[in-house]
Structure 1
Amino acid sequence: MKQQTIILTGGGTAGHVSLNQAILPSLQELGYDVHYIGSEQGIEKELIGEAFPSVPFYGISSGKLRRYFSMKNFTDPFKVLAGIMQAFRIIKKVKPQVIFSKGGFVSVPVVMAAKLAGIPVVIHESDVTPGLANKIALPFASHIFTIFEETLQHLPKEKATCTGSIIRQELFMGERAKGLLLCGFTTLKPVLLVMGGSLGSVVLNDALRQNLPELVKQFQIIHLCGKGNFDDTLASMPGYKQFEYVTTELPDLLHAADFIVSRAGSNSIFEFLALHKPMLLVPLSAQKSRGDQILNANLFKRQGYAEVLEEEEMTKESFKKSVHVLTERKEDMVATMKKTQRPKTPKEMAELILHYKK
């Protein structure tokens, strides 16, 4: 019998790749030949290539879908059209039984091409409200899965299901001792992990570094500062360890952390929740995004999982104060987190996707 095939797509940020990374091994274990379509210059090429070098990766043209005026809004539609044609040729060559899209701008031409080729598409939405790419893709999809129950009110009832969070199993396999060793830390002080995503966050980086002399008196600090944001002048500071970006080390670093300060991308915050890590969330401002992280963060705060500091309210003093409040609320947060529903495994998610195969 010929091996069955699936195409995964999604990219632009690590958040649009992480679920694909999580379910890919399970799909292979279920006997599927996995292929990946991403953007020509996107982070997904590096992430998939490093973790799964045997998985064929196809880079296609994609245009950014902007909600504001830009001259590129007149040229990018042609990039999307080119991407549709490229994706269509790939789909006809690979002949998948189903396509799974995690979103991001590159997924739009893939989903449209799949519709033209008669291949069922399953898409996934991580945020409280659907992103623009998924809104465009929705009419071409067979089904959409969500993390938040609240997202269902924005979607057609007949083609939407809330799965809850999906957490990659290697995340639970991290070891605190390894994380501490990696940083040269001891068990004498609590560990504060500050991370701003794959590209880093100037706002978080600045707020942390302004407060470093005070914070290192109370914490050992792991700082995932983003590529190009390493500060050589702080490289030898005791109790402070910088990384531009980590991959396989992340589970150990997360297990080493007692507290986490982060943006509010849904994939990350559900991972912190699954590991019962008290978190201070600093969502991207509405001026820099469509406001999805603000919704994510405020929902987590209402549910008792997080403290929130709005970017517009970020100062040296407000950051330090918010970290202090986080430490005071640790026991209550952890107790609340332990009552949450068990996240789905990647294998369970893979099986849900395959239910819609051709």
Structure 2
Amino acid sequence: MKIAVSGGGTGGHIYPALALIREIKKRDKNASFLYIGTENGLESNIVPREDIPFKSIHITGFKRKVSFENIKTVLRFLKGTRDSKRMLREFKPDVVIGTGGYVCGPVVYAAAKLGVPTIIHEQNSIPGLTNKFLSRYVDKIAVCFEEARPFFPEGKTQLTGNPRASEVVNYKGKSGITALGLDPAKKTVLIFGGSRGARPINNAVIKTLGELRGKPYQILYITGDVHYESILKETELHSNPENVVIKPFVHNMPELLPGIDLAVTRSGATTLAELTALGIPSILIPSPYVTENHQEKNARALSNEGAAELILEKDLTGGSLVNAIDSIILDPSRLMEMKQAAKKMGVPDSADRLYTLMNQLIKK
């Protein structure tokens, strides 16, 4: 079996693709892959480290207002389509899967025009422009939120969830948090704003350090690499509480999550897939700086079902954050209700669903 994959720009597009590739490798030792991305995206560094053949095309996204740059983008799209056709003809894939980002546009479009079976995977509740465009040409559309269905042709669309969810459920126990010096007997709150951190979340946490001292729960606070040194200087002024462990970044998040009782985080699609797969309640602070405000829509999908509490960034303060944490972690019945609601929304067999959909398409 030969599978071509394209997805890029952010980890939210790349990590689901890699999770699916790992799942396929487990099931088919003879499967071969080609990943098509861009040289400027994160994928150019992440994918080759996974020992996956990688090729690149040059493509940029459309500006949402009238701009001469959009003419250049059209020309890049046409060249990217030609380059993608050449790569696909050489590789001869049985299926092409796009997981989002501008690079998927010419790659998946080229595959469709060549008559290769195609699937796009939409992680968010509000689809991006690329997947909306491609939905007219692909054979199948896999979504992670029911809220995304109305944006796509009904007959093509299927709820599969995010393949990252299938990876985190393979980890059990609390070894991840004990390795970081946390007490496995205590309730644990994870606060993180993604790999680069989130300044508004960091500002709120710093203001609460004195108040967090003496709380009956412990906190794992991941600042993001770029903020770590400045946060350490701030904590020296406040005398860092013993129940707050601060780290710049954690590479083994799937191993860590089973030991977490409550997460405070942004509402990127991959993060939410991981949390719901494990039934972890959350306090979500969506980034307002993303396309079509999709993080807030993601967050509301969970908060409307009782799986999360939503705090808009404009309403975030140290006081509102501590009050929200206390209202959940110190209330056993509410914590359990939120766990059950989160678990109900999870799709732990998402990789299996996407793999099955892919096989059905190939065998047609």
Output the TM-score relative to the length of structure 1: 0.88
- In structure 1, the gaps of 5 or more residues are none
- 1:228 match: 226
Kindly indicate whether the alpha-carbon contact (under 8 Å) linking 2:302 and 2:342 is maintained by their aligned counterparts in 1: no
Kindly indicate whether the alpha-carbon contact (under 8 Å) linking 1:307 and 1:326 is maintained by their aligned counterparts in 2: no
- 2:192 match: 195
Separation in 2, partners of 1:157, 1:254 = 34
State the Cα deviation string for residues 119-149 of structure 1 (Å, max 9, x = none). 2210011222221110122122111111222
Please state how far the C-alpha of 1:74 moved relative to its aligned partner.
4.4
Please state how far the C-alpha of 1:342 moved relative to its aligned partner.
5.2
Say whether residues 1:298 and 2:300 are aligned partners.
yes
Judging changes above 3 Å, is the alpha-carbon distance between structure 1 residues 298 and 183 closer, same or farther for their aligned structure 2 residues?
A: same
Please state how far the C-alpha of 1:356 moved relative to its aligned partner.
1.8
Please state how far the C-alpha of 1:316 moved relative to its aligned partner.
2.4
Please state how far the C-alpha of 1:71 moved relative to its aligned partner.
5.8
State the Cα deviation string for residues 75-121 of structure 1 (Å, max 9, x = none). 33333333223222211111111100111111112112213333221
Kindly indicate whether the alpha-carbon contact (under 8 Å) linking 2:161 and 2:350 is maintained by their aligned counterparts in 1: no
Please state how far the C-alpha of 1:163 moved relative to its aligned partner.
2.6
Q: One-letter code of the match for 1:180?
A: I
State the Cα deviation string for residues 26-45 of structure 1 (Å, max 9, x = none). 32232421111112121223
| 1:299-314 to 2 correspondences below 5 Å | 299-314=301-316
Q: One-letter code of the match for 1:111?
A: V
Judging changes above 3 Å, is the alpha-carbon distance between structure 1 residues 243 and 355 closer, same or farther for their aligned structure 2 residues?
A: farther
Output the TM-score relative to the length of structure 2: 0.87
- 3-state DSSP class of the match of 2:96? strand
The alignment covers a number of residue pairs equal to 351
Please state how far the C-alpha of 1:167 moved relative to its aligned partner.
4.4
Say whether residues 1:354 and 2:359 are aligned partners.
yes
Q: One-letter code of the match for 2:221?
A: H
- 1:208 match: 205
Kindly indicate whether the alpha-carbon contact (under 8 Å) linking 1:167 and 1:344 is maintained by their aligned counterparts in 2: no
Q: One-letter code of the match for 1:319?
A: L
Say whether residues 1:141 and 2:133 are aligned partners.
no
| 1:67-106 to 2 correspondences below 5 Å | 67-68=64-65, 72-106=69-103
Separation in 1, partners of 2:12, 2:213 = 30
Say whether residues 1:265 and 2:265 are aligned partners.
no
Say whether residues 1:331 and 2:331 are aligned partners.
no
Kindly indicate whether the alpha-carbon contact (under 8 Å) linking 1:23 and 1:168 is maintained by their aligned counterparts in 2: no
Separation in 1, partners of 2:346, 2:57 = 38
The RMSD of aligned alpha carbons is: 2.4
Separation in 1, partners of 2:282, 2:179 = 22
Judging changes above 3 Å, is the alpha-carbon distance between structure 1 residues 126 and 288 closer, same or farther for their aligned structure 2 residues?
A: closer
| 1:235-274 to 2 correspondences below 5 Å | 237=240, 238-247=242-251, 249-274=252-277
Judging changes above 3 Å, is the alpha-carbon distance between structure 1 residues 82 and 217 closer, same or farther for their aligned structure 2 residues?
A: farther
Q: One-letter code of the match for 1:307?
A: E
